[in-house]
């Protein structure tokens, strides 16, 4: 049974009792069942969770990542967020496939594959995320490949500027930097370029090729932090160095430990900035998440991934979460790998939204 009701909101969510308040300036806590007692700094309604389920795979070449939102929902993720963490869920009970936005012909532009489709889809996603974020809700986007972050982060950035007059920070947890420009990309897959478009390092004038991105949608390289990098292209290394972008690779995690790395990442952002967490499941070692499009050995353990999410939640600054690149079709149905990857994705989301060990 779908956890959503007829109107697109989670069935029965309105029956939960909110925590007591004492006025306009009373604490705003995540989760109405008090699973989390972290006070939200930037959300007007932290008990409300906007869901955007994105079944899109056009930013890369392997089919199946579009099936991830359905797999995550069928695994019980949204029901857990409602019943165990106490969120009111808002959104749609169907996964968006965006077939109406995919043109019959979509030749490369500046080497980018499927540029018109990815641009049109991410533009719509930006609007969907914005609609939730402007209401003061936490937004959860279930992808989909990582190209969708062009839309999710653009929508969050615009909403936070309008609501609070603030720029957002982005914590990008990934094996890959995804900051290639069209000219530095070897593959032409846009899922390796979202950060370059979001920071303005890559720009386009025409709307059909990401020209719809304006300053209100963009982020500063000074408020961008990577965690978990271990497969970075030569052109991306140059971009990171030339722009002074804060990045923690697996070398840093091995050297300092995940706790110290997360402390340094959060210190770089500061404690007065809304945070958008964009988590690519391939940041985890394939031992924990094998069913993903570009697995790289030597990654995070599941506990390290959960710890990152738990730590970001505890800041009270979290305003949006992406989970991307789960691909349940890369393993046979009887292969436990797909099942374990979906389970890992669910765990990451729950930790980001307030689940704790005690």
146, 217, 276, 313: the active-site residue: 146
106, 236, 282, 285: the active-site residue: 282
176, 217, 276, 313: the active-site residue: 176
106 noted as active-site residue: no
48 noted as active-site residue: no
Give the pLDDT of residue 24.
36
Nearest to 208 by CA among 116, 117, 123: 116
DSSP 15-29: GSPPPP--STTS--B
Distance CA 46, CA 328 (A): 31
Q: Across all residues in the chain, what is the average pLDDT?
A: 91
Q: Cα torsion for 161, 162, 163, 165, to the nearest 10°? A: 40
47, 231, 280, 322: the active-site residue: 280
What is the mean predicted confidence (pLDDT) over 109-115? Answer: 98
Summarised one tens digit per residue, pLDDT across range 334-354 is 578 899 999 999 999 999 999
325 noted as active-site residue: yes
178, 252, 322, 355: the active-site residue: 178
Distance CA 86, CA 231 (A): 38
96 noted as active-site residue: no
Is residue 155 predicted with pLDDT exceeding 70? yes
Which domains are present in the chain? 45-169+205-218+271-352 (3.40.800.10)
Distance CA 269, CA 66 (A): 32
47, 66, 106, 174: the active-site residue: 174
Give the pLDDT of residue 19.
35
Give the pLDDT of residue 218.
98
Distance CA 260, CA 344 (A): 23
Summarised one tens digit per residue, pLDDT across range 235-267 is 999 999 999 999 999 999 999 999 999 999 999
Give the pLDDT of residue 37.
79
Give the pLDDT of residue 335.
72
Summarised one tens digit per residue, pLDDT across range 318-329 is 999 999 999 998
47, 48, 236, 325: the active-site residue: 325
What is the mean predicted confidence (pLDDT) over 195-200? Answer: 98
User: Maximum CA pair distance of the chain?
Assistant: 58
DSSP annotation of 247: E
Give the pLDDT of residue 104.
95
Burial 10-29 (b: 16+ CB within 10 A, else e): bbebeeeeeeeeeeeeeebb
Q: Which residues, at least 6 apart from 65, have a Cβ–Cβ distance to it below 8 Å?
A: 57, 143, 144, 145, 293, 324, 325, 326, 327
Summarised one tens digit per residue, pLDDT across range 62-86 is 999 999 999 999 999 999 999 999 9
Is residue 314 predicted with pLDDT exceeding 90? yes
pTM (predicted TM-score): 0.91
Q: Cα torsion for 303, 304, 309, 313, to the nearest 10°? A: 90
Distance CA 310, CA 316 (A): 11
178 noted as active-site residue: yes
90, 132, 191, 313: the active-site residue: 191
Cβ–Cβ < 8 Å for 115, 89: no
Among the ranges given (21-25, 34-38, 193-197, 306-310), the one the predictor scored with the smallest mean pLDDT: 21-25
What is the mean predicted confidence (pLDDT) over 128-157? Answer: 98
């Amino acid at each position: 049974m779908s956890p959503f009701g007829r109107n697109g909101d989670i069935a029965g969510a309105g029956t939960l009792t909110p925590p007591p308040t004492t006025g306009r300036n009373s604490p705003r806590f995540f989760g109405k069942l008090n699973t989390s007692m972290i006070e939200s700094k930037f959300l007007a309604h932290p008990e409300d969770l906007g869901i955007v389920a994105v079944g899109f795979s056009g930013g890369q070449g392997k089919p199946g990542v579009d099936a991830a939102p359905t797999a995550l929902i069928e695994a019980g993720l949204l029901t857990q967020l409602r019943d165990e963490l106490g969120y009111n869920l808002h959104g749609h009970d169907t996964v968006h496939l965006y077939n109406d936005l995919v043109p019959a012909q979509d030749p490369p532009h500046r080497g980018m594959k499927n540029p018109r489709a990815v641009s049109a889809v991410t533009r719509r996603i930006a609007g969907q995320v914005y609609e939730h974020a402007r209401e003061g809700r936490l937004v959860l986007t279930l992808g989909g490949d990582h190209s969708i972050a062009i839309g999710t982060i653009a929508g969050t950035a615009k909403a936070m500027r309008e609501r609070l007059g603030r720029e957002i920070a982005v914590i990008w947890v990934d094996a890959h930097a995804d900051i290639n420009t069209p000219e530095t990309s070897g593959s032409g897959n846009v899922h390796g370029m979202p950060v370059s478009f979001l920071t303005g390092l890559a720009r386009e004038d025409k709307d059909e090729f990401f020209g719809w991105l304006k300053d209100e949608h963009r982020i500063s390289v000074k408020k961008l932090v990577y965690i978990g990098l271990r497969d970075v292209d030569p052109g991306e290394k140059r971009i990171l160095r030339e722009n002074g972008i804060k990045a923690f690779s697996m070398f840093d995690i091995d050297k300092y430990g995940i706790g110290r790395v997360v402390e340094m990442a959060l210190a770089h952002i500061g404690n007065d900035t809304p945070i958008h967490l964009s988590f690519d499941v391939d940041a985890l070692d394939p031992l924990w998440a094998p069913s993903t499009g570009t697995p790289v050995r030597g990654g995070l353990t599941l506990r390290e991934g959960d710890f990152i999410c738990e730590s970001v939640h505890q800041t009270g600054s979290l305003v949006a979460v992406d989970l991307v690149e789960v691909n349940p079709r890369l393993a046979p149905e009887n292969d436990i790998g797909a099942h374990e990857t979906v389970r890992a994705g669910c765990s990451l989301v729950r930790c980001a939204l307030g689940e704790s060990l005690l």
